[in-house]
Amino acid sequence: MDIEVLGALAVRENGTSVTPTAKKPRQVLSLLALNPDRVVPVDTLIEELWGEHPPRSARTTLQTYILQLRELITTALTHDPQNTTPRTAKDILTTTPGGYLLHTTNGTYDVREFERLAGTGYRSMDAGDFPNAARQLREALDLWSGNALADVHAGPQLHPEVRRLEESRLCALDQRIEADLRLGRHRELLGELTVLVQRHRTHETLHGQLMVALHRSGRRREALDVYQRLRTALVRELGLEPSAGLRRLQRSVLMSGPDHLPEPTETAPAPARLSRIG
């Protein structure tokens, strides 16, 4: 089974989609897909679908959604003429004493591949191998086609999982930008960073990277304007001043030439590298 969640939900068996169109069955499949080869408890699925106040028929209705998913899987299995050891839908979407388990059976999973590539990129960064880090992190980010589970309604269980995935994407993104900055690609990054700081108004690392890219491109005044806009947003929205690292960067822009700015990791807090998801 092949699973994609880094964008629209797409789950396929033998190349045939088993992704339902109805809202709640999509939520069920999404939660199972985020936990491949692991049991998802019935209570977890019920909370995702109905929150803290499920109807009395919740378990029966959930069983109906599982049957609908198995019907889609059964249809997909008929498209595998080379299946010498016939499998059934119950072999793939298994009922356990406490819940349900979706078997991937050596299929692909985009989250797992993203984490693998991002991990190699982080190790290259730690080793000072910035060309490979930039390439590996770019390959990891290329797996994303949009926001995680962009076409799925996220309930109380899916919502934090989607947030974690998006944070891991942002972590890989700012590390890839840092690698590019260290390779002298500051002018190439200006457009991308301008969009990113508009989207993430209080993200210090991205603002610091834009300041570095602008200053190294001979645009000192604009780099200082970025700092002031960040400070205004932080004070107004969070009641916080910029970090000591960003304040040092501002002083560096004021006092030094573009070739003498500290590296980005010296000016802003390094992003947390999230633990493995899924």
Residue 82 Cα distances to 86, 131, 150, 206, angstroms: 9, 43, 34, 50
Q: What are the angstrom distances between the C-alpha of 86 and each of 27, 28, 103, 157?
A: 28, 25, 15, 34
146 contact partners, CB below 8 Å, separation of at least 6: 7, 8
Q: Of 3.30.420.10, 3.30.9.10, 1.10.10.10, 3.40.640.10, which CATH number belongs to 8-102?
A: 1.10.10.10
Every domain of the chain and the residues it spans: 8-102, 110-266
Q: Residue 109 pairs with which residues in a beta bridge?
A: 3
Residue 93 CB neighbour total at 10 angstroms: 22
Domain 110-266 belongs in CATH node 3.40.50.720: no
Residue-level pLDDT, tens digit, the chain, 278 residues: 899 999 999 999 988 999 999 999 999 999 999 999 999 999 999 999 999 999 999 999 999 999 999 999 999 988 766 655 678 999 999 999 999 999 988 889 999 999 999 999 999 999 999 999 999 999 999 999 999 999 999 999 999 999 999 999 999 999 999 999 999 999 999 999 999 999 999 999 999 999 999 999 999 999 999 999 999 999 999 999 999 999 999 999 998 765 555 555 444 444 444 433 33
